[in-house]
Every structure is written in C-alpha cells, then in structure tokens.
Amino acid sequence: MSTLSLTGVSRWYGNVVAVNDISMALGPGVTGLLGPNGAGKTTLLHMMAGFLAPSRGTVTLDDEPTWRNPDVYRRLGLVSEREAVQGFLTAYEFVLASAKLHRLTDPAAAARRAIDLVELESAQDRRIGTYSKGMRQRARVAAALVHDPQVLLLDEPFNGMDPRQRLHMMQLLHTLGDAGRTILFSSHILEEVEQVSGTVQVMVAGRLAASGDFRTIRRLMTNRPHVFAIRSTDDRALAVALIAEPSVSGVELDPTGLTVRAGDYGAFTRALPRIALKQGIRVRQLVPSDESLESVFSYLVEA
C-alpha cells in the first residue's frame, strides 16, 4: 500500500501557470484525473512521476520525494502519453529490457507475466514498429507493470484503443485497483473516467476544481437542477403529484415517460417513493439522466 501525496504543488513556465496549488493524496484504488486538454494533467502527472520539479510544494511517495530520486521507481510505474517505444525491439525484448533494468530476480518470467496481463502474447515476437497504436500502448503498459509497482500512473491510456482493447484495459485497471494498487490515469474523455473510476480529481485551468466520488460531487452542487427520467404505470398522475412537491422545479411529459428536474437531490429521491405509494403508482424506472461525468464536468467548467 503506497500513498502518493501532493502538498500545495504549483508549476509555472515563465508567466504561464500550468498547475496551481494542488493538494491531494492518492491511496489504493483507481482514480481518474479528468480535465480538458491543456488543463495541466500531464504536467501534474510528470511531477508525480518525478519528471518535473514542482515550482512550489512537494510531491512525495510514502514520504519520499519523487524528484531526483530514482529509487521511487521501484514502487512506481509510468505510462506516458507520448507513444514512444524503441520500434526496433519486439514487445518481449522491450518488456524484458525493462525487467532487467529493474534488476528483477527472474526477468524472463516477469516479462512473460506482464505480457500475459495485457494480452499481447500472440504478437510478442513481432517488432513494436509493426504494431497498431493500441498494441503499442499495451506493450508500454506491460513494461510499466513488469515490476508489479504499487503505484501506476497512466497518461491518457485509452488513446488510440479500439473498444475491445479499451474494455480490457479498464478491466485491468480495476483488477489492479482492487488488488490494493494505487492507480491514477488521466483522461479528457468523460466516459472513460466514469467507467473505470468512481473517484475523480477534476482539473480545470491548472486548478483542482473538484475531487472525490463524482456522483457525490454532483450532489453537492445543489444550486443546479438534477434531471431524472422516470417511467411509471401512470406518468400523467405522477407528474401532477410531483409538481406539488417543493424539491421539484419542473416536470416534462412525453410519450416515453417523465423528465423531472429537481433542485434538491436528497429531498427529491426521498419524496418520490412516498408520493408514488400515496398515489398508488408503480415506478418502473428511475434514471438520473445527467449523472454522467459530462454534465458534472460542464458545470465545473462553467462555474
């Protein structure tokens, strides 16, 4: 179990502030680092991985600084965004070289295990130069996982992957996170973060805009309406009853069901069963339709 801690971390390039006073502690599990392009995600990841000195603040892995400290790489793996690999090597040679550089006791076994983990066995003896983007990405992940690090940082790991590879990578990250590894991956695509991770760190313009479970974050923004899609045995009667409820700010009736806007998430979700029961209406479906990260994110950017 390792903890990656950032305390008041800022990084600037001349007059441009790329990362602005960020503090966070990352423990076991999968965390998504979310933000639009140019938000400073890569800069932050590079500081976490010891590839950039913070202009201010500290980045530590289990109380050891990551900057100018190659020893942290015993416990930390990095998959950077640039898909640079030595194209003249085969995937097996590439991962094996990593294992050897880590001074593992049985580099060949470690390399095979890592290649199995990313499902690259069938292509492991081909030169990486001949790989597709997604395969190259998996080769890089295998190299970063070869020493079974406690902490794995991935910069835009799903870029260039097809849906099947994406799914597989998500499962892999879940497995690692469930096994007690600290996994942080960055992404500007909301669905990716939503599917892999319940915990997000949202960065906007170099600042940490929000952090925590993204559904919780959404709930905290009570000044914004929450939208629910409801289907029931009698939509019209339910609409009449709901509009009398103080927590409901709007109801829309259409052939597929009801769209309800609620100002107070908690009050509405407590009121709905009570109302339905009283009216003798059976609720068939209740979907929070804007619970996606996309909407959380656009609120944060607007705010």
Partner 1 sequence: MSTITWITARGLFGRRRFLLLLPLPLVLLGLAVLCRSLGVDPGEWGPPVLVGLGLAVVLPVVALIIGTGVLGAEIDDGTVVHILTKPLPRWQIVLPKLAVAAGVTAVTVAVPLYVAGVLADSVRLGLALAASATLGALAYSALFLALSLVTRRPVLLGLVYVLIWEGLLGNFVSGTKVLSIQQYVIALADRLAPTGLLETTVSVPVASVMTALVSIGFTVLAIDRLRSFSVAGETS
- Judged by the rule CB under 8 A, the positions of this chain that interact with partner 1 are 11, 13, 16, 18, 37-38, 40, 42-43, 46, 49, 51-53, 67-68, 70-74, 76-78, 80, 82, 84-86, 88-89, 94, 97-98, 100-103, 143-144
Provide the β-strand partners of residue 259.
229, 252
Q: Which of 176, 189, 154 is nearest to 29 (CA)?
A: 176
Q: How far is the CB of 178 from partner 1 (least distance, A)?
A: 24
State the nearest-atom distance from the C-beta of 168 to partner 1, in Å.
22
Tell me the H-state helices in 50-207: 91-101, 107-117, 133-145, 163-178, 190-196
Counts of helices then strands in the chain (DSSP H, E):
10, 14
**Residue 139 CB, nearest approach to partner 1 (Å):** 11
Q: Least separation, in Å, of the C-beta of 42 and partner 1?
A: 5
Least Å from the CB of residue 83 to partner 1: 8
Residue 75 vs 166, nearer CB to partner 1: 75
CB 90 within 8 A of CB 109: no
Q: What is the sign, positive or negative, of the torsion defined by CA atoms of 24, 26, 32, 37?
A: positive
Query: Shortest approach of partner 1 to residue 129 CB, angstroms?
Result: 10
For partner 1, which is the closer residue by CB, 103 or 278? 103
Identity of the residue, 79 or 230, whose beta carbon is nearer to partner 1 in the bound complex: 79
From the CA atom positions of the chain, what is the Rg in Å? 23
Distance, CA of 290 to CA of 264 (rounded, Å):
14
Residue closer to partner 1 by CB (options 100, 231) is 100
**Among 275, 267, 276, 274, which Cα is nearest to 225's?**
267
CB nearer to partner 1: pick between 70 and 280: 70
CA–CA separation, 139 vs 123, rounded Å? 10
Q: DSSP of 28-39, one letter per residue?
A: SEEEEEE--TTS
Q: In angstroms, rounded to a whole number, what is the distance separating the alpha carbons of residues 73 and 83?
A: 20
Length of the chain: 303
Nearer to partner 1, 73 or 265 (CB): 73
Give the nearest distance from C-beta 102 to partner 1 in angstroms: 6
CB nearer partner 1, residue 91 or residue 276: 91
With contact defined as beta carbons under 8 Å apart, do 108 and 74 qualify?
no
